[in-house]
Structure 1
Amino acid sequence: MPQCPVTVVLPCLNEAEALPGVLAAIPAGYQALVVDNNSTDATAEVARTHGARVVAEAVPGYGSAVHAGVVAAEAPVVAVIDADGSLDPADLPRLVAELEVADMVTGRRRPVGGLRWPWHARLGTAAVCWRLRRTHGLDVHDIAPMRVVRRDALLALGVTDRRSGYPLELLVRAAAAGWKVRELDVDYGPRTGGVSKVSGSARGSLHAAVDFWKALS
């Protein structure tokens, strides 16, 4: 599996400032696929300049952007990672290697020193993951902003949420399908530039967590 071709899907909304650094860190041999989700800055142009393939997704929402990227991916394995510089693409090969023994591998964010991670975002994530462990038997502690999975298997799950609930529905469907999900620690640092991103601001993260909790009830 480590030698298997991988497409890295990067859902983007106004990430022109962060993209050069993120794309430079994509592991050798991996294919970067930027999904431009209605950016008003130079996201698409910057992505192309730095060697990424770009697709446009007009329907707003994190799930819309991720799904468009997965559909457009050409490799048998897809990795999804935020494009704001908070996660290091260099961690992806560790996750891909674990697909030898798992159906999906996710990154559990571990904040680097000095990072300000809003308490309400952390609390919401912890509550949702506790519910996932108790109700669905998934040994997870984060809502997987970095994940790797086999493309065809992911599409076959039929995830329908096209907004912030996409990662939760993915995990719930994976549990229902009997998938083995593994979680590895990854560094989580400050974003590059502002907070405009497909997955939203800190307040958006809290709202998403509330929606996740309702969906699990």
Structure 2
Amino acid sequence: MAHDPITAVVPAFNESETIASVVAYLIRAPEVNEVIVVDNNSVDNTASVASTAGARVVTETRQGMGHAFKAGVAAAQNDWVMKVDADLERFGPRLVSCLANARAPGIGLVKGAWQDPGDDMPMTRLLVQPAVAALCPALAELTAPNSGIYLMDRSRIAHTELRGNYAVDLDAMLRMAWAGHGVAEVDIGQIENDRRSPAHYSAMAHEIMGFFLDCARASSKASST
């Protein structure tokens, strides 16, 4: 399993400044034999920069992180798919190898946890961790349940049914756990993300909260039948 080839999927919206370096890094990783950049209605030259850097570019016109990721997963040649952010500028050299080497029998998804000295991740601490612990106690010990960098075996879940928005990462993780497949977490080092506006995090929190409420309603309905 550790040697199964990996497709790296990079959802991208107006990321022409960073996409080339992300693609170049993934192409150099020996565990990765395919890099797909999903252009999600960019109005800059993200697609052409990614193609020149060596990625296969897929277009997804439905706006949303989840829609873009699902398009990349569907287009992948391999079952093991790694989701990587398109805006990474400063990240450690072991990102891919740490995720790839954490695969083991019974493990369907490996979450990447990292340290960002400029971000104490309040949404993760105050919203995501308590909600995940309530919905799936087996995942209560994860330090980065909302991580958007992870590796999964797409054959184990109904990946075409994943959420089309920012909740896609949580959806994939919970589906995997609820299907009886292991979810592991591995330290991928330090990543310094650019600061986002409060409006950005507010929109993300709104979508994630809606996802958790839907999960709670579905669970309540199932338990009452």
TM-score, normalisation: structure 1: 0.83
Q: Secondary structure at the match of 2:166?
A: coil
Q: Find the counterpart in structure 2 of residue 215 from structure 1.
A: 214
What count of residue pairs does the alignment treat as equivalent? Answer: 208
On the 8 A contact 1:11/1:66 being kept in 2, the answer is yes
Q: Secondary structure at the match of 2:115?
A: strand
Distance 1:3-1:207 versus aligned 2 partners, 3 A rule: same
- RCO higher in 1 or 2 (8 Å CA, sep ≥ 6)? 1
1:16 partner amino acid: S
CA–CA distance in 2 between the matches of 1:173 and 1:187?
Answer: 26
CA–CA distance in 2 between the matches of 1:42 and 1:191?
Answer: 22
Task: State the 1:202 CA deviation.
Answer: 2.4
CA–CA distance in 2 between the matches of 1:189 and 1:29?
Answer: 20
Calculate percent identity across the aligned residue pairs.
Answer: 29
Q: Find the counterpart in structure 2 of residue 23 from structure 1.
A: 23
1:60-82 per-residue CA deviation (whole Å, 9 max, x = no partner) reads 11111111001100123111111
Deviates more, 1:181-190 or 1:27-36: 181-190
Q: Find the counterpart in structure 2 of residue 98 from structure 1.
A: 102
CA–CA distance in 2 between the matches of 1:181 and 1:168?
Answer: 12
CA–CA distance in 2 between the matches of 1:89 and 1:58?
Answer: 32
- What's the C-alpha RMSD, in Å, of the aligned pairs? 2.6
Task: State the 1:94 CA deviation.
Answer: 1.6
CA–CA distance in 1 between the matches of 2:201 and 2:77?
Answer: 33
Q: Find the counterpart in structure 2 of residue 35 from structure 1.
A: 38
Distance 1:29-1:148 versus aligned 2 partners, 3 A rule: closer
CA–CA distance in 2 between the matches of 1:92 and 1:119?
Answer: 26
Q: Find the counterpart in structure 1 of residue 200 from structure 2.
A: 201
1:150-196 per-residue CA deviation (whole Å, 9 max, x = no partner) reads 23224x4553421222222222221221111101123353346x859
**Which has the larger Rg?**
2
1:118-146 per-residue CA deviation (whole Å, 9 max, x = no partner) reads 63464223333333443xx2243322311
Q: Secondary structure at the match of 2:152?
A: strand
Q: Find the counterpart in structure 2 of residue 82 from structure 1.
A: 85
CA–CA distance in 1 between the matches of 2:159 and 2:56?
Answer: 25
Deviates more, 1:121-130 or 1:69-78: 121-130
1:99 partner amino acid: R
Q: Find the counterpart in structure 2 of residue 174 from structure 1.
A: 176
On the 8 A contact 1:157/1:173 being kept in 2, the answer is no
1:108 partner amino acid: A
5+ residue gaps, structure 2, are 217-225
CA–CA distance in 2 between the matches of 1:195 and 1:48?
Answer: 27
CA–CA distance in 1 between the matches of 2:93 and 2:151?
Answer: 12
Q: Find the counterpart in structure 1 of residue 13 from structure 2.
A: 13
Deviates more, 1:85-94 or 1:1-10: 85-94
Q: Does 1:54 align with 2:57?
A: yes
